[in-house]
Amino acid sequence: MNLPRRIAALFRRSSVDREIADELQAHLAMRTEDNIAAGMPPDAAARDARLRFGNPTATRERVEHVDIATGLDSFWRDIRYAIRGYCNAPLFAIVAIITLALGIGANTAIFQLLNEVRLRSLPIQHPEELVDIRIIGGNQGIGVSNSYYSSLTKPVWQEIERSHEPLAGVFAWSAEFQNMQTGANVNDVRAVRSINVSSQFFSTLGLEPIAGRLLDPEDMAAACAGSSAVVSYTWWQSQMGGRAISGAESVVLDRISYRIVGVTPPRFFGLAVGENFDFITPLCIPQNVGREYFDVGVMGRLAPGWNIDRATHWFTAASKGIFEAALPQGYNATVTEQFRNFKLGAYLANSGVSLLRRNYDSSLWILLGITGLVLLIACANLANLMLARASARQREIALRMALGATRTRLLRQLLLESGLLALFGAFLGIALAQVFSRLLIRVLASTDENLALNVHTDWRVLLFTSGIAVLTCTVFGTLPAFRAAKADPIHALKTGDAHAAGHRERYSMQRLMVVLQVAVSMVLLVTALLFVRSFRNLMTVDPGMRENGITVGGFLYPTSTITPEHFEEFKHQLVDEVRSVPGVSNAAIVTMAPLSGGSWGHLINIGSREGNSHFTWVSPTYFATMGIPIVSGRGFNDNDTANSPRVAIVNRAFVDRYFPGENPLGKTIRTQAEPRYPATLFEIVGVIPNTLYSDIHEKRSETMAFVPARQFPSEADGRGTQLVIASSLPSAIISEEIKRNIRAKHPEVRMYFFDVHERVLKSLLKERLLAILSGFFGALAAILVMVGLYGVVSYLVTRRRNELGIRIALGSTRSRIVSLVMGEAGRMLLVGTLIGTAISLAVTRSAGSLLFGLKTWDPATIAFAITALAAVAFSASFLPAFRAARLDPVDALRRD
Partner 1 sequence: MAKNDLQGTLELLILKTLAQNTSLHGYGIVLHIERVSGELLRVEEGSLYPALHRMEQNQWVRSQWALTETNRRAKFYSLTAVGRKQLAITERAWEQTVKGVQAVLHFA
Shortest distance (Å) from residue 55 CB to partner 1? 7
The smaller minimum CB distance to partner 1, of residues 20 and 522, is found at 20
If we measure between CA atoms, which residue out of 593, 713, 700 comes closest to residue 654?
700
Tell me how far apart the alpha carbons of residues 884 and 545 are, in angstroms, rounded to a whole number: 62
Among 14-22, 144-152, 458-466, 877-885, the segment contacting partner 1 (CB under 8 A): 14-22
Among 25-33, 303-311, 513-521, 632-640, the segment contacting partner 1 (CB under 8 A): 25-33
The smaller minimum CB distance to partner 1, of residues 36 and 806, is found at 36
Among 16-24, 254-262, 524-532, 812-820, the segment contacting partner 1 (CB under 8 A): 16-24
The smaller minimum CB distance to partner 1, of residues 22 and 565, is found at 22
Listed in sequence order, the residues at least 6 apart from 585 whose beta carbon sits closer than 8 Å to its beta carbon are: 726, 727, 728
The string of DSSP letters for 113-151 reads HHIIIIIPPPSSSSGGGEEEEEETT--TT-SEE--TT--
Shortest distance (Å) from residue 349 CB to partner 1? 53
Shortest distance (Å) from residue 38 CB to partner 1? 12
By DSSP bridging, strand 250-253 and strand 550-556 are: unpaired
Q: Residue 293 pairs with which residues in a beta bridge?
A: 144
Reduced to 3 states, what is the DSSP secondary structure of residue 25? helix
Shortest distance (Å) from residue 402 CB to partner 1? 24
Helix-strand-coil split of the chain, %, nearest 5 = 55, 15, 30
Reduced to 3 states, what is the DSSP secondary structure of residue 619? coil
Shortest distance (Å) from residue 20 CB to partner 1? 8
The smaller minimum CB distance to partner 1, of residues 409 and 814, is found at 409
Among 48, 67, 249, 254, which residue interacts with partner 1 (rule: CB under 8 A)? 67
Shortest distance (Å) from residue 46 CB to partner 1? 14
Tell me how far apart the alpha carbons of residues 107 and 123 are, in angstroms, rounded to a whole number: 25
Tell me how far apart the alpha carbons of residues 405 and 411 are, in angstroms, rounded to a whole number: 10
If we measure between CA atoms, which residue out of 471, 468, 477 comes closest to residue 383?
477
The smaller minimum CB distance to partner 1, of residues 41 and 54, is found at 54
Shortest distance (Å) from residue 419 CB to partner 1? 24
Shortest distance (Å) from residue 19 CB to partner 1? 8
Tell me how far apart the alpha carbons of residues 567 and 559 are, in angstroms, rounded to a whole number: 13
Query: Residue 526 CA to chain centroid, in angstroms?
Result: 20
Q: What DSSP designation does 274 have?
A: T
Among 10, 22, 185, 890, which residue interacts with partner 1 (rule: CB under 8 A)? 22
Query: Which H or E run contains 250?
Result: strand 250-253
Shortest distance (Å) from residue 409 CB to partner 1? 17
Shortest distance (Å) from residue 43 CB to partner 1? 20
Among 67-75, 364-372, 383-391, 615-623, the segment contacting partner 1 (CB under 8 A): 67-75
Among 7, 9, 13, 23, which residue interacts with partner 1 (rule: CB under 8 A)? 23
Shortest distance (Å) from residue 23 CB to partner 1? 5
The smaller minimum CB distance to partner 1, of residues 3 and 58, is found at 58
The smaller minimum CB distance to partner 1, of residues 66 and 490, is found at 66
Shortest distance (Å) from residue 35 CB to partner 1? 12
Listed in sequence order, the residues at least 6 apart from 453 whose beta carbon sits closer than 8 Å to its beta carbon are: 113, 116, 117, 273, 274, 356, 441, 444, 445
Backbone angles phi, psi at 357, to 5 degrees: -65, -45
The smaller minimum CB distance to partner 1, of residues 71 and 247, is found at 71
If we measure between CA atoms, which residue out of 404, 392, 375, 346 comes closest to residue 129?
346
The smaller minimum CB distance to partner 1, of residues 58 and 810, is found at 58
Query: Which H or E run contains 751?
Result: strand 750-755
If we measure between CA atoms, which residue out of 784, 90, 787, 795 comes closest to residue 378?
784
Among 14, 21, 24, 265, which residue interacts with partner 1 (rule: CB under 8 A)? 24
Whole-Å CA distances, 379 to 100, 156, 474, 692, 832: 8, 56, 9, 46, 17
Among 23-31, 519-527, 635-643, 715-723, the segment contacting partner 1 (CB under 8 A): 23-31
Shortest distance (Å) from residue 37 CB to partner 1? 10
Shortest distance (Å) from residue 80 CB to partner 1? 20
Q: Is the dihedral of CA 561, 566, 568, 571 positive or negative?
A: negative
The smaller minimum CB distance to partner 1, of residues 33 and 758, is found at 33
The smaller minimum CB distance to partner 1, of residues 32 and 844, is found at 32
In contact, 722 and 555? CB cutoff 8 Å:
yes
- Per CB under 8 A, contacts with partner 1 among 799-858 are none
Listed in sequence order, the residues at least 6 apart from 656 whose beta carbon sits closer than 8 Å to its beta carbon are: none
The smaller minimum CB distance to partner 1, of residues 412 and 546, is found at 412
The smaller minimum CB distance to partner 1, of residues 22 and 337, is found at 22
In contact, 756 and 840? CB cutoff 8 Å:
no
Tell me how far apart the alpha carbons of residues 603 and 671 are, in angstroms, rounded to a whole number: 6
- Per CB under 8 A, contacts with partner 1 among 268-307 are none
The smaller minimum CB distance to partner 1, of residues 62 and 745, is found at 62
Among 19-27, 203-211, 494-502, 664-672, the segment contacting partner 1 (CB under 8 A): 19-27
The smaller minimum CB distance to partner 1, of residues 19 and 458, is found at 19
Among 22-30, 91-99, 179-187, 406-414, the segment contacting partner 1 (CB under 8 A): 22-30
Shortest distance (Å) from residue 841 CB to partner 1? 58
The smaller minimum CB distance to partner 1, of residues 20 and 373, is found at 20
**x-or-dash string of contact with partner 1, 27-66, rule CB under 8 A:** x-xxx-x------------------xxxx--xx--xx-xx
Size of the site for partner 1 (CB under 8 A): 24
Backbone angles phi, psi at 611, to 5 degrees: -165, -165
Among 9, 26, 83, 732, which residue interacts with partner 1 (rule: CB under 8 A)? 26
Task: Spell out the SS3 assignment of 175-240.
Answer: EEEEEEECCCCCCCEEEEEEEEECCCHHHHHCCCCCEECCCCHHHHHCHHHCCEEEECHHHHHHHC
**x-or-dash string of contact with partner 1, 68-87, rule CB under 8 A:** --xx----------------
State the distance between the two ends of the chain, measured CA to CA, in whole angstroms: 36
Tell me how far apart the alpha carbons of residues 113 and 219 are, in angstroms, rounded to a whole number: 38
Residue 42, Cβ density class (10 Å: 0-12 exposed, 13-18 middle, ≥19 buried): exposed
- Per CB under 8 A, contacts with partner 1 among 649-708 are none
Shortest distance (Å) from residue 40 CB to partner 1? 16
Shortest distance (Å) from residue 30 CB to partner 1? 4
Which residues are at the interface with partner 1 (CB under 8 A)? Answer: 19-20, 22-24, 26-27, 29-31, 33, 52-55, 58-59, 62-63, 65-67, 70-71
